[in-house]
Structure 1
Amino acid sequence: MSEKPESTSNVAEFTVSEISGALKRTVEDTFGHIRVRGEISGYRGPHSSGHAYFSLKDDKARIEAVIWRSAMSRLRFQPEEGMEVIATGKLTTYPGSSKYQIVIEQMEPAGAGALMALLEERKRKLGAEGLFDASAKRRLPYMPRIIGVVTSPTGAVIRDIIHRIADRFPLHVLVWPVRVQGETAGAEVANAINGFNRLEQGSALPRPDVLIVARGGGSLEDLWGFNDEAVVRAVAASHIPIISAVGHETDWTLIDLAADVRAPTPTGAAEMAVPVKADLRAQVATLGARLSSGMSRYLDRRREIQRALARALPSADQLLALPRRRFDETAGRLGRALQANTQKKRGEFDGCARRLSPRLLEQTLREKRLEIKRLESQLPRCLAAFLHKRRGLFDRTAARLSVEPAARLAQRDRLHLQQLERRQVQAVNLLLDRTKRRSAELERLLKTLSYQGVLERGFAVVLDPSGTPVKRAATVTAGDELTIKFRDGNVQAVAQGGENRPEQPKAERPSPAKKSPVPAGSQGSLF
């Protein structure tokens, strides 16, 4: 039995379970208690065991989540698919599938309240109209000449913006004073944005190249004016690029989604709007020096290349030496070549002249005449053979079209016609038998459903003067002429009373045994 080979490496060896356990302890120790904000995905309600399994996701990542039955019973709301929540719990791993997940202990809706619900609804509505599409965003100009600011003129925001612009790149700043909090804040901000866009280029009040809409931080209620639908539509319709600098970095409003660029703070908006003038000057100086140095190096390198190419080029005598030698050799061979070519052509001419002598032409004519006479002598035999062949073909065709084959064809057609007649008679007889059976079945069905069978069992039918059966006694009045139809005939009668007429004494009624039959068509009494 072979011994187990010893490992030459001193790296520690772990089992899969040891690795999974170490990762589980590390994750649980590092993330023992966290709060995660995300959107519920894949929620299908509690499992049969009472536990709930789903995922929390945002626009970039996804994490598996689980709520045990004990924590599920303590939730103050029912989780739903697509709901944004803030979950509190701890991270752990599931060794069975090498996944990490959050075990949720508490969970609350993110942004609970009427304002947050309204904000989400407005966000969905405006987003569906395409006001937040990234394709509609405009790029900020690199070096604007005029910057428009929409903010409160008395707050610290405008001072921070002006101070930051003055430090980085001093230029003309236009301020449109508005209220940044209260019921009229949204309308004033929208009017300011539209007012800046209505300014014409070259007018007394110049049109800004960039707009900054700014406000300091605050609660959701304080920033609500920047969630106004009119503000969002004005920002989306603006032809001037807009930087949104509303609130702190953690705050967000609908104007942030509609603006071309969102700044974390008003100071950050000023930094985004203009570059640093000193840096630009230094960069221009650096680029100028690099340009001068690069041009000098380029010219030096081109001069060196030109000198190297000039040294490599041969002189005029060297370039023309080989063509000159080829020319001299060709000139020397030209005279000899012309003499040889002339002799060759003369020999070819003499050969053609010998072939065109009168003696050869007369011999050729004699041979052609002999060939013509030979063909002329063969012509009668060929014509006779051709006629014989065509006559045999004609006889065979006439034999196929003679009277006897025509008679056989007519007899065959007659037999086929007789066969078709027999099949026709059989088909007609079969159709008649089928029709008779069907008629007999319908006749039996008619007798079964007809009222004549009812009359056979001793019943009678009462008809009014128009021949319509009388169905109810209430429709009969005194003096109506009626017809009573029995199995063996009809009896005419006249009604003497209505439905509630008292019954006559039995003595006045004629006995059925003594009643003489009334022939059809005679007049009688119904009662």
Structure 2
Amino acid sequence: MSPEYEAGFGTSGRLLAEERAGDNAPPLSVSELSAMLKRTVEDRFGHVRLRGEISGFKRAASGHLYLCLKDDNAVIDGVMWKGGAARLPFSPQDGVEVIATGKLTTYPGRSKYQIVIDRMELAGEGALMALLEKLKQKLAAEGLFDRDRKRRLPFLPRTIGVVTSPTGAVIRDILHRLEDRCPTHVLLWPVLVQGQGAAEQVARAVRGFSDMKPGGPLPRPDLVIVARGGGSIEDLWSFNEEIVVRAVAECSIPIISAVGHETDTTLCDHAADMRAPTPTAAAELAVPVRADLMAMLTEQGLRMNRAVRRSAAQARERLDMQVRLMPTPDTLLAPQRQRLDQLSDNLGNCLRHRVADARAHLGQAGGALRPALLRQYLNRGKERLDRLRLRPDYLTRVFHAQVTAFDSLARLFASVNPDLPLRRGFARVMAGARLIKTVTDARAAGAVSLHFDDGAVGAVVEGGAPAKPLEKPQSQSISASSRAPRNSQHGAEDRQQDLFS
């Protein structure tokens, strides 16, 4: 390197990097440095436990969890892979304080360090209660705990579905209590009641009972009991999970929640239609006492018999009172009997008067039937008959008058017959079906037909084509040209005259 370069740039401002003797710090690539930092951080912080508040929680579609843990002064990113997330006993939420166990590592893609969480727990009972209260407020805002949506339990269910552990004392207590009170058919859906996967199994059991169809191979329950024995809040936490609460709230069958002892309360109790302090109390709420039912039925039967007898006695008393108030048959029939006697007496008198009137009328009519009157009436009838008889001379005059009138009509008919002049040598000029009366009409028609008494012939006006006759065959027609010489021989005085001129 030239002295001028050394003087111009110095040892700290060289333009090109170059190896120098004694230099023990070779340049590293970014990837090499990131790998060295990753190994250093993982070796130094291979197992750590951090206490902090969850912030920015997000569950990816792959099942991995991404979050931040923070306190008052610092924030660290965290990730929990799908396998560890599936083992979590609670659902992480923002604002919940937890203790996360895992190891620190780096993410070279963004030059950030983060904690890979293997296990995460709530930081004390206070954090657990805060998570519970936050979930409770969320579900209550959706209306899952409203009293209006609570349903009445069936009075005497035929089948009861129980969701609980098959090996615990809970199912034995429920069966024993049901046997003592009122034996009922029970369907057990075995589930885990605590630990990993318990919430999913309980929710699946509740939904399974709800989805059963009537008339299937197993009877559909009329009532469902979700039960578990007592324990700490951590033991009962599965019944605070959102998946369980929503399944209980959406169940189409009335549900009794019997989780823990009397002092234990879970979100499942709020979502159920009724809460029982213990599983045994749930069995007592589910069915009535059979002996009490029998006693009640007996008492109701006795009351019914007494009511029927009392009603019959009261009806009999009312009937007796009505009978005493009703009149006797003699009292009811006395006016009718008296009227019958009166009508009987009047009937005899009326018949006698009617016979007397008939005899008087017959006497009057018989007096008018004398022989002289009858002969006089007969003579008047004969006179009227003689006046009505038909005399022959009158009929003859009428007949001759009718004959004369008929002859007049016949002569008039013959005189107006249009074919009669044709016998005297006249002809009728036609153009088709139209009668030709003037020369103008004939010239306008051009071709006409002349109708005589014995037939018709065609004629042409001023050189037109001859028309075909309408009534007679062509063999019988005579052309006008063949008759022209005859007409010229006879002269104008022999021409046919117009009948209608």
Place the TM-score, normalised by the shorter chain, in its bin: 0.3 to 0.5
Using structure 1 for the length normalisation, give the TM-score: 0.39
Using structure 2 for the length normalisation, give the TM-score: 0.41
Instruction: Report the structure number with the largest CA radius of gyration.
Output: 2
